[in-house]
Amino acid sequence: MAIRSYLTYVSPESIVGRLSPPTKLFLPVIVSFMALVTINFYLNLFLLLAILVVLFALAKPPSAYVKLFTGAAVWMCFVFAIFYLFLSGYKGNVIFQLGPVSIVDTSVYMVASIILRFLTMTYATVLLLCTTNQKDIVMTVRWLRLPYAFSFMLALAFRCAIMFLEDSTKVQEAQRGRAVEFNKGNLIRRLRKFIALLVPLIVISLKRTQTISNAIESRAFSFSTKKRTFYFTLQVKPVDYVIIGTLFALFALLVVSKLTLGVFMGYPI
């Protein structure tokens, strides 16, 4: 199952893969946030190059992921370019004119920045997907000392997501066996067919919740446990704390400077 393999794949021994789960999670996430808050060509470029270095030199992503995400990203960038160059209504110095269509320099700066930031987040996502699995995410939530209910529900959600995907394949096959063709017909017909896919899935999921609830209760689960054991422990080494700390600090620095000094807000080139 292709999607299932995406959800569960972890790249073979790589430097990033060997970091502890919180680090593997925070690295791409914080870098993405950093990309979001800065609109500065040089900084955006730096972030993109940084993430590309980490991804390709230190993480060994499978080519299937890279191809898929790059393909999707290129399309999105094309869309951004069209929108911001021609439809955004920015005012500035016109640098190109062809009849009624004109392109201003501010839009070009904007497009450049947006594309770089978008690519940064895209490759950060690839990094996330190929170095972490569900267990890492669940363990990180526990490490953050969030209530047990959070990490448990997260773990259950992952499992249910996979069961849901398997069920959806079966429902599709069952409906196709009754002459339902999902990719034909006008919008309204397609919607009706989609409902034929959704209703059984919802019914099955509802029935399943009762069974799951019975199963976990029978194994002593309850939300109000006085003392519970945590069998799995997280190995968080000093280097992880350093990396996470540095990332947070940099991010904080960026946000503060953006808010107070207005630095990085301009469009330099």
Partner 1 sequence: MVKAVQVKDLWWKYDGSQDWNLKGINLEVEKGEFLAIVGPTGAGKSTLCMCLNGLIPHNFMGTIKGTVVVGGMNTLEKRVADLSEKVGLVFDDPESQFIGMSVEEELVFGPENLGVPKEEIKQRMDQALDIVRMKDYLNKAPYELSGGQKQRIAIASALVTRPEIMVLDEPTSQLDPVGKAEVFSVISELKRNHNVTIILVEHLTEEIVKYADRVILLYGGRIELEGSPKDFFKEVDLLKEKGVFPPQVTELGYLLTKSYSAFDGELPLTINQAYEEITSTLRRIPGRCQK
Partner 2 sequence: MSKVDSIIQVKDLWHVYPDGTTALKGVNLDVPRGEFLAVIGQNGSGKTTLAKHFNGLLKPTKGIVVVDGVDTRKTSTSTLATKVGYTFQNPDHQICCSTVEAEVAFGPRQLDLSEDEIRRRVDKWLNMLGLEGFRNEHPFFLNKAERQRVAVASVLAMEPEVLVVDEPTTGMDWKQSYAALDMLKSLNATGKTVIIITHNMRLVAEYARRVVVMLDGLVLIEGSVEEVFSVLDILNKAFLRPPQVTELAHKLKEFGVPPTVLNVQQMHGILGRFYEGLS
CB-facing half-sphere around the CA of 135: CA atoms within 13 A = 9
Give yes or no for residue 199 binding partner 2 (CB under 8 A). Answer: yes
Min. distance of Cβ 243 from partner 2 in angstroms?
36
SS3 category, 103:
strand
Beta strands in the chain (DSSP E): 94-98, 101-104
- Asked if 129 and 65 count as a contact pair (C-beta separation under 8 A), the reply is yes
- Asked if 79 and 6 count as a contact pair (C-beta separation under 8 A), the reply is no
Number of residues that bind partner 2 (CB under 8 A): 22
Residues 141-160 that bind partner 1 (CB under 8 A): 155-156, 158-159
CA dist 106 and 127 (Å) reads 32
The only residue of 45, 58, 68, 196 in contact with partner 2, by rule CB under 8 A? 196
The only residue of 6, 154, 167, 258 in contact with partner 2, by rule CB under 8 A? 167
Min. distance of Cβ 235 from partner 1 in angstroms?
15
- For residue 180, CA distances in Å to 192, 197, 205, 238 come to 10, 10, 22, 57
Which amino acid is located at 72 in the chain?
A: A
CA dist 251 and 28 (Å) reads 12
Query: From residue 205 to residue 244, what is the string marking binding to partner 2 with x (rule CB under 8 A)?
Result: --x-------------------------------------
Q: Which residues sit at the interface with partner 1, rule CB under 8 A?
A: 1, 4, 8, 134-135, 155-156, 158-159, 162-163, 166, 208, 211-222, 225-232
Q: Which residues sit at the interface with partner 2, rule CB under 8 A?
A: 1-2, 167, 170-171, 173-181, 195-197, 199-200, 203-204, 207
